[in-house]
Chains A and B, each alone.
Chain A
Amino acid sequence: MTRHPRGVLAPWVLTCLAVASCSRQAAAPSQEAGAPPPAIRYEAHIAAGGIAPPGAALRNPHQGEPAVAKKGALLFTAMNCDGCHGGEGSGWVGPNLADGRWRYGGADAEVFNSIYYGRPKGMPAFGGTLGAEGVWTLVAYLRSLPVPGDVPTESWERP
């Protein structure tokens, strides 16, 4: 697969590129004559839930800007995110966003996509309301939340 030189791209551009890559791969000459082309030839080409195609990562233009993160905290309440995810993202009917664990990936791009496009089980698509800038503001806030040390064990016995 050809490497595309990429900077920070709008998500829809990224989607188009990924689709284009897949269709090119499906028509590759190594295909045996007569055999139906596989829908997905290489697992590495599956982005969702698998390994993202190589390329520059989508980065938050506001990475590490505390002022933006603070704005994001207000947005988290104003957009009723806390109604499902709890105050400070601590979890309610929606998952905990402050435990350092992520259903759909915790990288900037993955969190961006979750908010922009929505997710199954009722996470609305906020891209239309917030635009990319608003979504990045929320990502900046979520990434600023202090993540507790991951303690996978809960014990009721005294040591």
Chain B
Amino acid sequence: MPRAALIAMLGCLGAVAVNADNVRAAGAPAPADEDGQWSMPSKDYAATRYSGLAGITRQNAGSLHPVWTFSTGVLGGHEGQPLVVGDTMYVVTPWPNVLYAFDLTREGYPLRWKYRPDVSANAIGISCCDAVNRGAFYADGKIIYNLLDGHTVAVEASSGRELWNTQIADVSNGETTTMAPLVVRDRVIVGASGGEFGIYGWVKGLDLKSGRTVWTAHNIGPDSDMLARADTFKAPYDNGVDLGARSWANDSWHTGGAPVWGWISYDPELDLIYYGTGNPSPYNPEQRLGDNKWSASVLARKPQDGTLVWAYQFTPHDNWDYDATGAMILADLTVAGKRIRALVHFDKNGFAYTLDRATGRLLIAAAFAPVTWAKSVDLATGRPVLDPAKQTGASRENVKGICPSLEGGVSPSSPAAYSPRTHLFYTSTNNLCMDYAATHASHLKGTPFVGVTSPYFAGPGGNLGTFMAWDAATGRKVWENKEPYPNWSGALVTAGDVAFYGTLDGWFKSVDARTGKVLSKFKVGSGVVGNPITYRGPDGRQYVAVYAGFGGDWALLSGDVRSDDPADVRPPADFLKDIARHTSQGGIIWIFGL
């Protein structure tokens, strides 16, 4: 991009909380043991979405073309990503959560089997924002994933036979299950959505063999419910007991939300899992005065028994629906000359965070998208420096000009990728701001517990999204591709130094990971809200797969994109007027090759 534009754009960001010159990423080599599979939602435990495959390069990516497509038969937001294990590709659809197993060794990739669980339709209306699923995990010969109606299933990968089916969540209480599970040894870690329904958020550890629930750990509430003990739990910036209860006025933690609807990562050396929690409920912050710990936070736990080890809150007393459920990417960086086992997180609140993942201590926080709710993040206290004029609440009526919007500087649905070759993180972003008029919300079991009207508008520049490369060791943007619409796909980066992403108006692009230059693009039939993956096929060649299937929040906001219900006709969203000109709903799996 032109240098002048880059400088202008950086000027908008403001708020870089560290002198970035003394921070740089360590040059971790590409893994020599790349097996060419994609067996976990985020590729590896570190959630890098980086593949060591290098068959597709910056030189030859221009000739990428579709080699296969398949309709999932489901219209809905196709978030998440396929898995490739051995010579089989596994695909989970949005509700009704069909699981397909494709034989990649045969022409046309026919199905080996498909699995059709009985999933309650009631869950559709209890999921806040489209009936999405964020993918499956392969372990121990099993495909493990969540059904929308609060069940986790294990399906035999070879046969499609259901091995176990455990109810983990209660739809009648506002809980649904859209997140991608993580398996560590014999534990399956799962969580529930429901930050818009006033749930009492939790994660659970199930037994991999039987599906039995071994432990339940709440994300808010008293220490006993949170599995926080004085001898094992150390928050880097807080002291005291029952922080998850005492930071909520009038015991409002009972209905305080803090759902888990994104991704979980794992560090085998520290034996810690990391996940983010969603917004506190309701959206009207005056009904839950206090910090509302540990909503909008990252929590580190022991996978075996759920023991809480540390927690850090990105957005204390969240006033703006800034869920922290986005990916926690584990990378080793050198910060101020010191090698750090880092955790990098792009938050809905517009800041990119670099933490020490052993302790939760904050190293860097820099705005990656336009931010007005806070000026910066104080590294000494770990707390944001707030703009008092952007605090919300029913008594403040309509608060104008808050950036980012509650769609986030990036959606947690759109996980970033990290390349140890370029030392850069790659992520979609949204360039949206909002006004926020909070109102009193009443809690009725199984109905929305929200209390806000929040119209959106474009941020500086007018483009509604970008795909960009971020240097987490300097807290700076390296390049960005402006996109006309909010960008809602996850990122993929490879050892060929090619990054991949999709757009809301239905383009799938490969770009030079060093410059952002578009190498190939193809119109895939529907907006992309899923995450591309890559794998080595049985023929030894490298392929890239992605879903096309407009949805997620956009299914609600851009009602004119829908064509499936003649009894529900909506005008275009005023901030996204012509998206329906370029896309409609879909449910298509694409595979690209050279």
> Which A residues form the contact surface with B (CB < 8 A)?
77-80, 82-84, 87, 90-96, 99, 101-103, 120-124, 129, 150, 152, 154, 156
Is the Cβ of B568 less than 8 Å from the Cβ of A103?
yes
Q: Which residues of A contact B444 (CB under 8 A)?
A: 79-80, 129
What 7 pairs across the A-B complex have the smallest Cβ distances? A122-B125, A83-B448, A95-B568, A80-B447, A103-B567, A101-B567, A121-B124
Is the Cβ of A96 less than 8 Å from the Cβ of B122?
no
- Point out the residue from A87, A96, A121 that lies within 8 Å of B559, measured CB to CB: A96
Is the Cβ of A83 less than 8 Å from the Cβ of B196?
yes
Query: CA A87 – CA B439 in complex, angstroms?
Result: 12
- Point out the residue from A80, A92, A121 that lies within 8 Å of B121, measured CB to CB: A121
Query: CA A101 – CA B562 in complex, angstroms?
Result: 15
With A96-B569, A101-B567, A101-B569 given, name 4 new contacts (CB 8 A).
Answer: A91-B570, A122-B121, A154-B560, A154-B580
Query: CA A112 – CA B565 in complex, angstroms?
Result: 21
Within 8 A of A (CB), among B409-448: 439, 441-442, 444, 446-448
Most A Cβ at <10 Å: residue of B123, B127, B559, B572:
B559
| Interface flag for B546 (CB, 8 Å) | no
Q: Which residues of B contact A129 (CB under 8 A)?
A: 444
- Point out the residue from B441, B449, B570 that lies within 8 Å of A96, measured CB to CB: B570
Q: Which residues of B contact A103 (CB under 8 A)?
A: 565, 567-568
Q: Which residues of B contact A96 (CB under 8 A)?
A: 559, 568-570
Q: Which residues of B contact A124 (CB under 8 A)?
A: 125, 446-447
Query: CA A121 – CA B130 in complex, angstroms?
Result: 11
Query: CA A154 – CA B129 in complex, angstroms?
Result: 25
Query: CA A156 – CA B581 in complex, angstroms?
Result: 7
Q: Is the interface of B mostly helix, strand, loop or mixed?
A: loop
Is the Cβ of A83 less than 8 Å from the Cβ of B449?
yes
Is the Cβ of B442 less than 8 Å from the Cβ of A83?
no
Query: CA A152 – CA B117 in complex, angstroms?
Result: 36
Query: CA A121 – CA B528 in complex, angstroms?
Result: 24
Closest to B125 in A: A122
Query: CA A152 – CA B567 in complex, angstroms?
Result: 11
Q: Contact mask B113-136 → A, CB, 8 Å, 1/0?
A: 000000001111111111000000
Nearest CB on B from A77, distance (A): 7
List 20 A-B pairs, Cβ < 8 Å.
A77-B439, A80-B442, A80-B444, A80-B447, A80-B448, A83-B448, A84-B448, A90-B570, A93-B124, A93-B128, A94-B125, A96-B568, A99-B569, A99-B570, A121-B122, A121-B124, A122-B126, A129-B444, A150-B569, A154-B560
Q: Is the interface of A mostly helix, strand, loop or mixed?
A: loop
| Interface flag for B578 (CB, 8 Å) | yes
Is the Cβ of A83 less than 8 Å from the Cβ of B447?
yes
- Point out the residue from A83, A93, A152 that lies within 8 Å of B127, measured CB to CB: A93
Interface size on B, residues (CB 8 A): 34
Nearest CB on A from B127, distance (A): 7
Query: CA A1 – CA B126 in complex, angstroms?
Result: 41
Q: Which residues of B contact A83 (CB under 8 A)?
A: 196, 447-450
Q: Which residues of B contact A92 (CB under 8 A)?
A: 556
Query: CA A79 – CA B130 in complex, angstroms?
Result: 21
Known interface pairs A101-B566, A101-B567, A103-B567; A122-B123 also in contact (CB < 8 Å): yes
Nearest CB on B from A46, distance (A): 19
Is the Cβ of B568 less than 8 Å from the Cβ of A84?
no
Is the Cβ of A120 less than 8 Å from the Cβ of B568?
no
Within 8 A of A (CB), among B524-579: 556, 559-560, 565-570, 572, 578
Q: Contact mask B265-278 → A, CB, 8 Å, 1/0?
A: 00000000000000
| Interface flag for B453 (CB, 8 Å) | yes
Query: CA A158 – CA B518 in complex, angstroms?
Result: 32
Closest to A123 in B: B125
Is the Cβ of A84 less than 8 Å from the Cβ of B125?
yes
Nearest CB on B from A33, distance (A): 40
Q: Which residues of A contact B567 (CB under 8 A)?
A: 95, 101-103
Is the Cβ of B568 less than 8 Å from the Cβ of A99?
yes
Is the Cβ of A101 less than 8 Å from the Cβ of B122?
no
Closest to B556 in A: A92
Nearest CB on A from B563, distance (A): 10
Q: Which residues of A contact B448 (CB under 8 A)?
A: 80, 82-84
Nearest CB on B from A83, distance (A): 2
Is the Cβ of B449 less than 8 Å from the Cβ of A93?
no
Is the Cβ of A80 less than 8 Å from the Cβ of B449?
yes
Closest to A94 in B: B125
Query: CA A77 – CA B448 in complex, angstroms?
Result: 10
Q: Which residues of B contact A93 (CB under 8 A)?
A: 124-125, 127-130, 556
Closest to B446 in A: A124
Query: CA A107 – CA B234 in complex, angstroms?
Result: 60
Nearest CB on B from A86, distance (A): 8
Query: CA A24 – CA B401 in complex, angstroms?
Result: 65
